[in-house]
């Protein structure tokens, strides 16, 4: 746990908690408005959350070399998360357009 300073830990942990709260708020928005396309955004946010948790885990164990695979998982889930967020945004945009005959 000595790899990061206390203020940096606060930022890391609060970012993860904020991301969890954002996922929950988006899900609640989808439920309350009936706009089901917004559920896709909640799911699309999960890979980025996994990425953040990988970073926190790796730092928690003082960047141990035996856990270097977590860096690869973090990079992969960041890429996946960027793609899923893009797709979710596109889906919300597509579903928000008025139907044309």
pLDDT in tens, 79-89: 999 999 999 99
**In-domain check, residue 12:** yes
* 10, two tokens: 């606060």
**In-domain check, residue 101:** no
Which residue range(s) make up the domain with 74?
Answer: 6-96
Which residues neighbour 1 within 8 Å (Cβ) at sequence distance 6 or greater? 9, 59, 60, 62
**Coil, strand or helix at 63:** coil
**In-domain check, residue 83:** yes
pLDDT at 101: 60
**In-domain check, residue 1:** no
Count up the domains in the chain and report the number.
1
Q: What is the pTM of this model?
A: 0.88
**In-domain check, residue 42:** yes
């Amino acid at each position: 746990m000595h790899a990061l300073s206390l203020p940096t830990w606060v930022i890391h942990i609060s970012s993860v908690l904020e991301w969890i709260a954002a996922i929950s708020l988006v899900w609640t928005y989808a439920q309350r408005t009936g706009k089901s396309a917004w559920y896709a955004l909640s799911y699309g946010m999960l890979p980025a959350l996994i990425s953040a948790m990988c970073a926190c885990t790796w730092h928690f164990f003082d960047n141990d070399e035996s856990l270097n695979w977590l860096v690869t998982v973090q990079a992969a889930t960041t890429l996946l998360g960027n793609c899923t967020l893009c797709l979710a945004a596109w889906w919300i945009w597509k579903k928000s357009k008025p139907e044309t005959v």
